[in-house]
Structure formats: structure tokens, C-alpha cells
Structure 1
């Protein structure tokens, strides 16, 4: 069967850069699912996206969908044929309704008995009938963060849609979206070739668009941008390293043309982060760095135009003029900010509302400073005075002119102002680093002061919002509380700080007592459970087995301790003695569900050699086990359990735990309970599925 290619394009006004990858991914997921459901086979499926278009090309499609077999069940055999085998009205009626002769009916045996059935081939529908509705559904299914209405009635999209291209081979598919009907035409670059373009074959889609100054392939556009930027930088003996800007820039243009611009060297006195933020985040320019020292900015940049200008000087001058205006502002903010001591900015936080139910930013700083000091006394007592200083100043720059205009620089400017005003370098660094990690793959603070202040700030935020009932639910987490809890736990893990989450939560909630809308203990338990659930995700990400996680999380408190216990179990779970420990825990738990048990074992009531042997083996290793576990040496503690395998196995083989003698029975249960109580210092082994 001859196959054809299909192209479908949605043409619109300029989409926000961040909407393009989201939309293309949605289209990909939608089509993969639909084509699988329809049992459609094809060649490669390619997706294209620019600010003005979203498109998909499917190669090697057959003109019709595959035929399908349909089996239709009829009435039971015993009412479809009489005792002589002649068809009854029921049997004949079923055959007639299916449009076949009674002789074509098949008897099918089912669990409920024999039934009439008919299997027939349903011809596949033509692509031209199926895909128009499919594409219309796909358009409506794109989950844009925001959509709008325009003159096209009854439909919504991220921006007004102006055309649809839908071509299967040389045939136009009648796709409709509101009042717009698909055709065989597309459009070129708005500024360099805006006329309609007729497409005769989907195979030539990219080639034709490129001739009209549109590069529809996102990755190809990114490669072209990067190649030009690197080349332009090389020409002036500079380097470029902000490759993370490519995705956004590629979403802003259809036909990249890179232009090198410059700015006054006098602006290089500004902190590099200021220059980079203005260029990257506000102008989408690529900053350039010295070829001899890639940490040093040079007074040049690369801007990416959507056109090839007739006079590049005019465009360059425009880019430079806009940047100069922003840098003039930044220079003014910086100069004025340095006239104000950082502690003065911090004092002004009393006039800034953090949240209407949690008070001012000054109140928040006061709360987490108390927590930070307590943390310092536990983690790094010699740094307590510096922790107090860093905590009290770390939010001060939020009141500065620079951060008001460029919020991305919070912490960065605080560090800069602290250094220039003669503050201790450790304190200044902590002011910057207490915001770290800002994302899952971000670095952690380099110094203990930044880590302590960061933990204190985050726990106050988490407990504060839990305290006023603003708890994350589903995908809703407007204050990023999940991310902040994970940040705390990752800091504790990576830095090896031994800290009780229960203590931390209690300490924080104690500062929030008057603001809680629910009882203290209820909020406390909710926050602890929240941390516990986040830590499960961390353990999963680090490759810990699911049942190991379940076994250690029951006694979650200190993240470092919990992780160490999980690692120890992962090390020994394949040892030959390990299944006996898990099995014993399960059996004891089942027994304890039916009866109460103490921990006092009377040796005079140990009647059989097997229970005496088990008690003796336990008694010989208990002190060592507790010593190792107390030091966090869980791998060493667990290895001691290997000596219990044989005594445990013999005990359960020879000893009847549920003796008719109450004292003997209770003593045996107490022995097992004492054993499992010791195991629980590491994990709830009954949760683990260990292979014998």
C-alpha cells in the first residue's frame, strides 16, 4: 500500500517563548496515545515550533486506518437452536441483525456457557475522515498556562490563531478550529516574507519555510544561534558560556541573526551578577567573557535578531541604547543603595508585610533568627555570633532599590553590600547563600552559616503556612513548601548535620504560637508527616528499595540517621541470615496483635534448650548491638544479627510459643518482643520482603 506524509500546522500570533516546548510536548503525548489507540503505524513523527507556529509531520501514513476485527456476542445456544438443531427466532434474529446468514454464526464457549457470536472485519476509515477531528481535539487539549478569546467564536488558544495548514500528501484535510478552516497554505517570516505560501507536499515543509526565512525545527534553530554566537564571540577574542539562554531565545525568533553590541567599560564596576541579570533576563542578550579568563566579563554582548537587517548598524545601535538605559538605572540603584547601611534596610522590613496572617518580614526574621541561633549552638557553637548577624541581615537587601527592580538579585546584592560596607566575609557569603539550593539541581551553601540560616528561614516558612492552614495539596504549592522541605533535608544529608526534625518543628512552631489556627500538636504532626513524605522521595531518588524505605521511615526523625539505616539494610539484605530476621519480626508482630507483651524475660521460665539458646545468643550481642547503633554504625550492628539466624530458626521450629501455661507463654512472647524491640532500633524488619 502506498503511503503518504501528513503535515499539520497551527499558525498564530507570537506565542510566549515558554509556551512552545509545553505545547509541543502536549502534542507529542496526545498523538502517541491516539495513534496507539487507533493502531496506526507510521514512519518518523516530527514536531516543529516557532513563535508563530506549532506543527507536526507524520511520515509514511497509509491512506486508511488498519482494518479491525469485531466480535459480536449473541444469545445463548440453548435458546438459539431447538433440540433438533434448527435455528429459533432468537438465532435467526441475531444473524439478521448482523447482516449474515445463520450458517455464518459461530458457537463460542464462555465461562457462562455456549453463546452465538459473529466475527467480522470492519474496514479502516480513511485518514481524511479521522484526522480532522483528531487534530481539532489536539488543539483544544494543549494545556497553556493562559488562554484567550478573540474574534473567532467558541474557541480559546494562547494567542489568536490565523491559519491552519493540514495536508495529507497533496490533499487538504478539512480541519476546523472555530471559524478557521485548514488549507494548503502557510506563511513565512512576518518581517521578511509575510505572504502566503502554498505547500504541495509535506516532505518539503522545512525546505520551503527556510526559503522564506523560517527555521521551524527548534533544535536546528538553537544550533544555529549557538554557532553564530560562538563565532561572533571568537571574532572579538571573547567566549560565551550562557547556553541555558538558548531555549528561551530560540522561542523568540524564527530566523536567527546574531549581532554583536557593546557597552561602556565604565559599567564593569557594577557587580558581574547585575550585568549578567540585565543582559540575560531582561534583554535576552548573551554576555561575553574574556577568552583568557572566563570569569571576567568584557563590554560586549550578542543579541539575536529575527531578521537579517539591511543596515546592521541601526539594529546594533538600538540594542545598545536599550541596554545602556537599563545599565544607567542599575548604576544609579547601586550607588544609592551603598549610601544606606544594610542594617537600616533590615530595620525597614517592619514596614513590609510577609503575609497578612504571618506578620511583617521583620517578624519573620526575628523568628528564624531565634531558630538559627539554636541551630548554631548545636551544629557550630563557635559560629553563633556570626549566625546571629547573618540571620538578622539576610533579608535586608529586599528593601534595596536594586533588588526592588531586579528581584533575581536578592541575596546577591546583600552579599555585595555587606562586603563593601566592611562586614565579615563569612557573614556576607551566608547572606547570599542562605537562598541555596534554589532548585533541585542547584548547589548547596558552601559555609555552615549559610546552611544554618537557610534551614531556619525555610522551617519558619513551612511551619508558618501550615500553621495558618495553607497546606500544599495535589499540584498546588504556591509557596514552594515541598521544595523548601526537600532543601532542608538535602542540606542535612549532604553536610552530615545530625538534627531532629521533631525538635526543629517544635522550635519553629513555638515562635508561631499566637498565629496558629489549629492546635499545636495537630500542626506539628502535619509538618512532621510532610517532611517524612518528602524524605521518602529523596530515598527513592537515591535508589533505596521501596520496602527498605518503608522499614526505616516508621521511625523517621533525623534524616542522616534514617538514611544511614537505609544504607545499612541495603548492604546486608542479600545476606543468607537476613530473611530469618525479617521472618521473625513478622511472626512476632502477628503474635503481638493478639496479645499484650512485656520486655522482662525470666530465665527460670525458659524450659527448652532452643529458647535458652536464643536468649543466650541475644544476651551476648545486645550490648554490642546497642553500642554500634547508638554511634550510628548500623552496618556493624546489623552484622551482629547474623549470629541469631540459627537460634531463631530452631526456636520457631521446636518451641510452641502459645503454651497452655500462661507464665511460660508470656515469657516466650516477652523474649520475642525484646528481640524485635532491639531490631526496631534499626528498622521495622517486618516491612521487608527478603528472599530466602
Structure 2
């Protein structure tokens, strides 16, 4: 008869951000353990609070599934000697299966007879298997770990108790010196230790001790309480999902409350107030019905509503202290000019091996100057971009950003507006950090987008120049994220940027100290950027073979590579795609026989033509345009009949050296265009 199995790990309070991930991992590892041990079950429910990770396996079987096994052993000639006696190999095989040689039989497999043993294994009782659940507990991984006592064992927090019950029966599980039982702990301040009489009563038993073990139920309670406060006061509250998740994993018995602060603090920028409330104190901020920030906040207490007024006063006092600091910093910062802050950046290191933040801005100015023309920015946009590049890091040395580092860029925009900079300049200062995560929001303005690319390019080329190159999972300066951000911004704006041309410009024009050798890792930088193109194409569900083809081609302009990949994917199901790829592939393969590479001055001599197809191929290739990936593909695809005729009529490796080289020249010129699509040998066709 199916039963329920409860396993609770009791811990000291865990960091909020690990709770949900850890209980999910706990359930996944338990599921794998049970399946590997042939224990069937209906479902696994998860429960979690800051002090516990729990699974409830519902409908778990009484025993392992019985199995019939046919074990394969050595070949017959090894299992028996010439007289038909069992060899040591056969005896060892039988012993390993807990059987005797008399149980061996032979069957033929691919023309060879092998020894086999057929055996039946009765499943063990589920209790015998569950005693090994300590393997699941100790296998859970965490982003940070700690030791306690004299143990070498590491875990997210010290384990204080374990509950292991199969219905109402204790199943012994032990981790270190902690032995499981049926006693769990209630709320740290409101509850007491309590005995779980039956696995199915776990949730209700804990509720009696002020613990809501079901994280979803707890989260809904918080949401409902916030909603009631909002309706009672006619407020608009942005219930941020990430903040709700964090707060939910900080409490076991939630009670929501609201507090207030003096209206005078509303003169501080909203972003500062929100950071103080949301990021620093984990409060939900409040807006009125017009969308304006209101002088109130909502918090969640880990406990009941008794003496809640004291809790409110305490939280108000803590918040006001932070707002007083913010107000002071905001006013003090405005007593200096942007020029004052920029001057201070001369003594702020970007990186000790590279130079100062002031020097970085000087390089970014030069890169931005190049990009403005490359991307076709207007005169006013270029003016804003160059001004922004001269000052965009100034807020790093303001008191506000020193106290609230998460506001870098945000305060730069605010202060720049206050100090008279144009909207384009101030917005670019904030947007240059974007995207702040792999798939985060991108800059909205062209000026911000260009500054973001210039800043990220400078970081990549300078870190590579001093051999600080990401390897494996090691990427301390987030260069992969920055490079991917560049590719996403280029793609969003459809900006073309040839990586070779870019690096040639940087080597020739960038003012850098001798210690920064931009030539040292030029190819590595290109490969690094192309790998980020691969990442974007995978995100867009482009076929892996097409991605490989595009990445292996001659085109190293990210936006053109992306366009080509999409074109190849769109045409991959065309009826003639296979024959087109084969025809173009013949040119690619035979062009490799040439002992010379493509150059712009390669010419084909019409006087050496022996067949009409040679002139026709020359004419059609000369008319191929690469204005767009779609046009390039269609025009190359249209060459197929001519290519077929060309190879039918002409011997490429002709005896006449001049004729041979003339034909190879034709193929090399055609291959130069084909390579812009990529390495087509990597494209799989059906």
C-alpha cells in the first residue's frame, strides 16, 4: 500500500537567495535517488523556510521493484577450457552474480558465444533504502559553504535537526552526529519544538507553532496582506517579484505592516529612495494614484501582529537614518562641478595593470569618435556622445555612489541634468552600463548605445592586452557579459562593425601606454566576439551547423554574420537547398587547389576561355552583390545551373598552366563571395 515519506533538514537561517534553489535541488536529487533505487512514487512536494528544507514523497511504494536480470559474462572459449571445465573467469563471473557456474548458459551474439546468467532480484523494503537518504542531503550543493565544530564537512549552514518519517514510523537517517527523529522546531520566537506524529500532518503541525512551511502559501499571504493595505489606503504598490521572493524566504510566519517617513525626503531622486527602501531595507515602496512616490513603505515581519506598532517605529527609525544620509550626500555632491569630479578620476584606478579611470575615458572618447561616424550618428548625436565620453564616469567619486554603489550611472544622469548637461548626454551616462545582465534591457538612445559599445570595447581590448583573458568559468571582470552586450546592441540597432577594421583603427589611433599591446591578442579578441555571436544565434534557435558555418566564414562583422545565419536558416528547407550547397561546395573545394589567395587585383583573362560557361560564370559572379545577406544568398544560389555547366564543360586542372590558373582564379574569386556566407562544408543537408 502506498505511503508518504517526509524528510526535513533543519538548519540555522539560510540566506534568502539560496532557499528556493536549494529545496528545488533537494527534490531533484531525491527523485533521482528513488528512481535509481527502483522506488516508485506519485509525486514530491517541497516545503521551505529560512530554517528548513523539506520534501514529502507522496504515494511511495512499500518496496523496490523486483527485477529479472540477464547478466553477460566472458565468451565461451574463455569461460571453459578445452575439456569443458569452468575456468577461473567463469567462476568469478558466477560469484560476482551471487550464483554458481551451474547457472551459466550460453547464447550467441554477433557470431560469438557468451556466458550468461539469468537471475531474479527481490526488491528491498523501502525503509532499507530510505536509510541512505543522507546521500541526498550531503550531495546538495550551494554557492557558499561553511564548516562548524571540528568537522571537515561543509554546508550552507549548520544542520541542527532531521526529521525522517515513513507515515508514522521513524526511518533512521544520520548526517554527522545528527540523528533523525520526529521532533521539529517551531518559530524561533513564537513556537516550540513539536513532534510530527505522521508525515501527512507535517504542514498543520508546524502551523500550530507559527511556521508556514509551504512557500507558495506564505507568498500568497504576503501578497494578500499587501493588497489589503493598498486598497485600504488607496495606494499603488509595485509588488516586485524578486523582492517578494526574497522577503518570503526571510520569514516563517509573515505579518505585513506599513510605515511612513517625512515628505521632505521626497525631494531626493526617486531612485535613491527606492534603493534605500527596496535594496537596502527590503521594503516595498508606495506610489499614489498619480504615480508619484508617496512617503510610505511596506515591510514584512517574521512573526505575528502583537506589538506591531513597535516594529513599525523601529523600521521607520532605521529608514529615516538612511534617508538622512542620502539627503546629506545629495546636497553635498551638488556643491562640486562635474569638472571637479572628472579631475578626481585621475587618481582612481580602472585596473592597476591598465591605468586610471580618467585614462579609460580618454580612450573611450577616441573609440566613440570612430563609432559615431561608423554608425552614422547625426552631428548633434555625435556632439552628445563625445561630451558624454569625457565625463561619463564622474559619479563614481560622488558621496552618493560611494554609499549606494548600485546607483552608479543613475546618479550620473541625475547630477548631469542638474548641472546643465543635455538630455542626450545625461541619459547616455546611465545607459552606458546597459545591459547589466546577460539578457537585460538595452540602451534606448543611439548615443547611449554607442557609448555602451565604446566603454565595453575598451574594457575588452585592454584586459586582453595585459593577458587578463577569461578562461573556463573564470571571468572576474565580466568580459563575456560585456561582449555579449555589444553584440546585442549592434543587433538591436542593425549597426555594422567589421572587427578587423575596428582593431586596425584602434592600433593606429588609440592613445595608450606602451604596456598595452593591442596587437598581442588581436585574433583572440575577434574569436571572443565571434563566440558571443554564436551565443546570440543559439538564443535565437539557429541550427548549430549553420552557426558553425557562419562562424567559420570570412565575414567578421557581427551583424552580417547574424543576418547570414538567419538567411541560411530560412532557406534550409527550400527544395533546391541541397543542390545549391553542393554546387557552391564544389567551387569551395576546388578553389583550395589554387596556390594563391584572393586579392582585389586578381583578374580573369577572357582570351583563355575555351567554353561559353567560363564567360557566363565570370559575368554572373561579377554581378553578385553583397548589399544584404538575402541578396547574396539568392544570387549565389542562382549560379547553380552555370556552375553545373562550368564543371561539365571544363577540366579545372588543365594541362595548359595558363588555362588552369585562369580557371582557378575564377573559382577563387567566386569562393571569396561564397565565404561571406560562411564555411558551407559545415552545413548539413538532407
Q: Normalization by structure 1: what TM-score?
A: 0.91
**2: CA distance, partners of 1:427 / 1:76:** 79
Residues 107, 116 of structure 1: 8 Å contact kept: yes
Instruction: Quote the Cα distance in structure 1 between the aligned partners of 2:272 and 2:163.
Output: 44
Greater mean deviation of Cα atoms: 489-498 or 675-684: 675-684
Query: 2: distance between equivalents of 1:528 and 1:91?
Result: 58
User: 1:172 and 1:370, CA in 2 relative to 1: closer, same or farther beyond 3 A?
Assistant: same
Name the SS of the counterpart of 1:568 in structure 2.
helix
Aligned to 2:34: 35
2:683 to 658, 676, 688: 688
1:105 maps to 104
Q: Is 1:213 matched with 2:214?
A: no
- Equivalent of 1:674 in 669, 673, 679: 669
Give 5+ residue unaligned stretches, structure 2.
none
Matching residue of 2:298: 302
Shift of residue 289, structure 1, vs aligned partner: 1.1
Query: Secondary structure of 1:521's match?
Result: coil
Q: Residues 227-271 of structure 1: CA distance to partner in whole angstroms, max 9, x if unpaired?
A: 211221111000111323111111111111100111111111111
What is the TM-score when the length of structure 2 is the normalising length? 0.92
> Match of 1:300, SS?
strand
Show CA shifts across 1:191-226 (max 9, x none): 210x21111222222222222221222222222211
C-alpha displacement of 1:454: 1.3
Moved more, 252-261 or 536-545: 536-545
Q: Which residue of 1 aligns with 2:131?
A: 132
Could you give the per-residue CA deviations for residues 315-370 of structure 1, whole angstroms, max 9, x where no partner exists? 11111111111111111111111111122112111122221111221122222122
Secondary structure at the aligned position of 1:254 is classed as coil
Report how far residue 309 of structure 1 moved: 3.1
SS in 2 for 1:536: helix
Distance 1:678 1:160 in 2: 64
CA distance in 2 between counterparts of 1:231 and 1:515 reads 65
SS in 2 for 1:301: strand
CA-CA distance at 1:397 after TM superposition? 0.9
3-state DSSP of counterpart to 1:485: helix
Cα distance in 1 for partners of 2:498, 2:544 equals: 23
**1:431 to 2:439 alignment:** no
Report the count of equivalent residues. 676
Distance 1:473 1:33, change over 3 A: farther
Aligned mates of 2:559, 2:482 — CA distance in 1: 17
Structure-2 separation of matches of 1:418 and 1:276: 20
Whether the 8 Å contact between 2:555 and 2:675 is mirrored in structure 1 is no
CA distance in 1, matches of 2:353, 2:99: 74
1:237 aligns with 2:234: yes
Q: Please report how far the alpha carbon of residue 88 of structure 1 lies from its aligned counterpart in structure 2 after TM superposition.
A: 5.8
Shift of 1:660: 4.8
The structure-2 alpha-carbon separation of the partners of 1:88 and 1:335, relative to structure 1 and needing over 3 Å to count, comes to closer
Stretches of structure 1 lacking an aligned partner (at least 5 in a row): none
Kept after mapping to 1: 8 A contact 2:286/2:297? yes
Any conservation in 2 of the 1:398–1:410 contact (CA below 8 Å)? yes
1:293 aligns with 2:290: yes
Partner of 1:166: 164
1:347 paired to 2:377: no
Range 277-286 or range 211-220, more displaced: 211-220
Q: In angstroms, what is the RMSD of aligned CA positions? A: 2.7
In structure 1, what is the equivalent of residue 623 of structure 2?
A: 624
Shift of 1:381: 5.0
Asked if 1:587 is matched to 2:567, the reply is no
Superposed displacement of residue 490, structure 1: 1.1
Report if the CA contact (8 A) 1:12-1:161 is conserved.
Answer: yes
Match of 2:417 in 1: 419
Which residue matches 1:476? Answer: 474
Is the 1:366–1:392 contact (alpha carbons within 8 Å) kept by the matching residues of 2? yes
Give the corresponding residue for 1:390: 388
Deviation at residue 174 of structure 1 after TM alignment: 1.8
Flag the 1:117–1:571 CA change in 2: closer, same or farther, 3 A.
Answer: closer
SS where residue 513 of structure 2 aligns? helix
Distance 1:359 1:95 in 2: 68
Which residue matches 2:197? 200
Question: Matches of 1:172 and 1:433 in 2, distance apart?
Answer: 58
